[in-house]
Amino acid sequence: MELRRDRMLNCFCSVLMLFVNMGVLSTAFSVYFPYIREMKGFSNTQVFLLTTMRQIFAMIVMTQSDRYFRALDIKKGSLITFFVAAAAFGILAFTPDARLYFLATSLFGVAYGLGGMIPASILLRRWYPRHSGTAIGIAAAGSGLAGMIIPVLATRMVEGYGLSAAFAAQGAVILLLCIPLLLFVKDHPAEEEMAGERSPEEVKAAERGREAAGSTDDFRLADHPRLLIGMILMGLLAFQPAAGFSMLFRTSGYEMGKVALLVSAMGFFLIPSKILVGRFADRFGGKRMLRDCTILVAAMMFLFSLTAFLPYPVLYFVLLVYALGISESSVGISVIAGDYASPAAYPRALKSCQFFYALGGLLFSTVNGMVADLTGSYAPAYVFYALAGLVMLAVLLPDYPKK
């Protein structure tokens, strides 16, 4: 019973890691973009430069994530990222200079890069060796939970109490969420506790992993150029379309109340979608997950380019299907890294995939704003994203490992 309790508590804490470091700092933060533009005088391009700063610093710290967690372990390392995230919201709340918003989102990048999917995936693969895809999907639903809750609450806070009060409240909540991590995260299960949880094949794989401990030479991303390109394109699809939703809907004529509901619905749809995609990957494998999910994403991108002509209720359906497809970008990276690497090399493979995934978010972080400034509309950017999805399929599927 103790093992089951510890597994559930570690999964719960992984949900919190992704709620804060992915959901609050990335998915849900875009709801503030229209307010930042209108209240702080930012241009469209400047608004999306905030995400550029986040991505730059996320990439920098990801290169050291394996060393970081070896030095501090998952619990201590994740707690520090929560403190960094809370400090960033403190800067947003109390700075008199809007230019310091770029410093705050740089700190977002530090927390995101070190405290998001990497520690949660490593922790859950230790505790759920036979159903890691499902467990990671449940944890990844934390970012969807943030995307569901934060937009509506943030809109009410901003319009009722001001932008600074909304930022201060979010920082305070993040500090409160440190308590479960401090109490419940347990880095490693005892080997004897896990004896009945692994199949004979998994036991043999674990033994091979222990024999190869300290050696990760069997995985080098440079040996997989298609995977490198695919991760960049997946980062593009994961970060940029969602980051532009609030501006796309706002400039399509919807008031902020309806915009917040749409963004919140997206977060709600992500919760079951990530769990379903995790279970799908466990059952059918990473290659089929990649193919089916990417096709859904590309199709929905074409529909988003027609937002101004779609009835408001139809947008909810488009968001639902998009949420199901884009769940590959959170659950899928952990699964794909596992398909390309041995257990011993998994942390290095995951770090490499996450790095180039973040690079994709960085390289294209200003596409939304630049397209809007040049054309007066966000819609053309979504045609570009649809084509990028099709290119990603053409790049990754032919050489995907047979597992």
Half-sphere exposure of 70 (CA within 13 A, CB side): 8
Task: Please list, in sequence order, all residues whose beta carbon lies within 8 angstroms of the beta carbon of residue 5, skipping any fewer than 6 positions away.
Answer: none
Measured N-to-C along each axis, helices 225-243 and 367-375 cross at an angle, to the nearest 10 degrees, of: 60
SS3 at position 204: helix
Q: What share of the chain is helix, strand, coil (3-state, %, to 5)?
A: 85, 0, 15
Sign of CA dihedral 85, 90, 93, 99: negative
Asked whether residue 209 is assigned to any structural domain, the reply reads yes
The residue whose two tokens read 């199949």 is 199
Which pLDDT value is given to residue 2? Answer: 58
Side chain identity at 60, as an amino acid letter?
I
- Give me 111's structure tokens: 């927390």
Residue predicted with more confidence, 212 or 300? 300
Point out the least confidently predicted range of 161-165, 195-199, 205-209, 266-270: 205-209
- Mean pLDDT, rounded, of the chain: 84
- Give me 151's structure tokens: 């937009």
CA gap 121, 331 in Å, rounded = 9
SS3 at position 10: helix
Side chain identity at 16, as an amino acid letter?
L
Asked whether residue 401 is assigned to any structural domain, the reply reads no
Does the structure show a pLDDT above 60 at 203? no
Contact between 105 and 88 (Cβ < 8 Å) = yes
Which pLDDT value is given to residue 196? Answer: 54
Per-residue pLDDT averaged across 154-174, rounded?
91
CA gap 50, 27 in Å, rounded = 13
Does the structure show a pLDDT above 50 at 210? no
Measured N-to-C along each axis, helices 132-161 and 2-18 cross at an angle, to the nearest 10 degrees, of: 40
Side chain identity at 29, as an amino acid letter?
F
Give residue-wise pLDDT tens across range 20-40: 988 888 877 878 888 888 888
Contact between 98 and 147 (Cβ < 8 Å) = no
Contact between 184 and 12 (Cβ < 8 Å) = yes
Which pLDDT value is given to residue 200? Answer: 47
CATH code where residue 107 lies? 1.20.1250.20
Which pLDDT value is given to residue 177? Answer: 93
Half-sphere exposure of 88 (CA within 13 A, CB side): 28
Burial letters 380-395, b for 16+ CB under 10 A, else e: ebbebbbebbbebbeb
Which pLDDT value is given to residue 1? Answer: 44
CA gap 206, 274 in Å, rounded = 27
The residue whose two tokens read 């937002």 is 307
**Cα dihedral 42→44→45→49 (10° resolution):** 60
Asked whether residue 403 is assigned to any structural domain, the reply reads no
| Banded model confidence at residue 3, pLDDT cuts 50, 70, 90 | low
Give residue-wise pLDDT tens across range 292-330: 999 999 999 999 999 989 999 999 999 999 999 998 887
Asked whether residue 193 is assigned to any structural domain, the reply reads no
Point out the least confidently predicted range of 24-33, 186-195, 211-220, 355-364: 211-220
- Give me 159's structure tokens: 């319009």
Residue predicted with more confidence, 296 or 271? 296
Residue predicted with more confidence, 171 or 195? 171
Does the structure show a pLDDT above 90 at 5? no
The residue whose two tokens read 């372990």 is 73
Asked whether residue 402 is assigned to any structural domain, the reply reads no
Whole-number Cα distances in Å, 141 to 41, 163, 303: 34, 27, 24
Degrees (nearest 5) of the Cα angle 186, 184, 86?
110
Q: Domain tally for the chain?
A: 1
Range of the domain at 263: 2-187+198-396
CA gap 66, 113 in Å, rounded = 11
Point out the least confidently predicted range of 154-163, 178-187, 333-342: 333-342
Residues of the chain with pLDDT > 70, as a percent, come to: 92
| Banded model confidence at residue 206, pLDDT cuts 50, 70, 90 | very low
Per-residue pLDDT averaged across 364-369, rounded?
82
Q: Which helix (H) or strand (E) holds 79?
A: helix 65-94
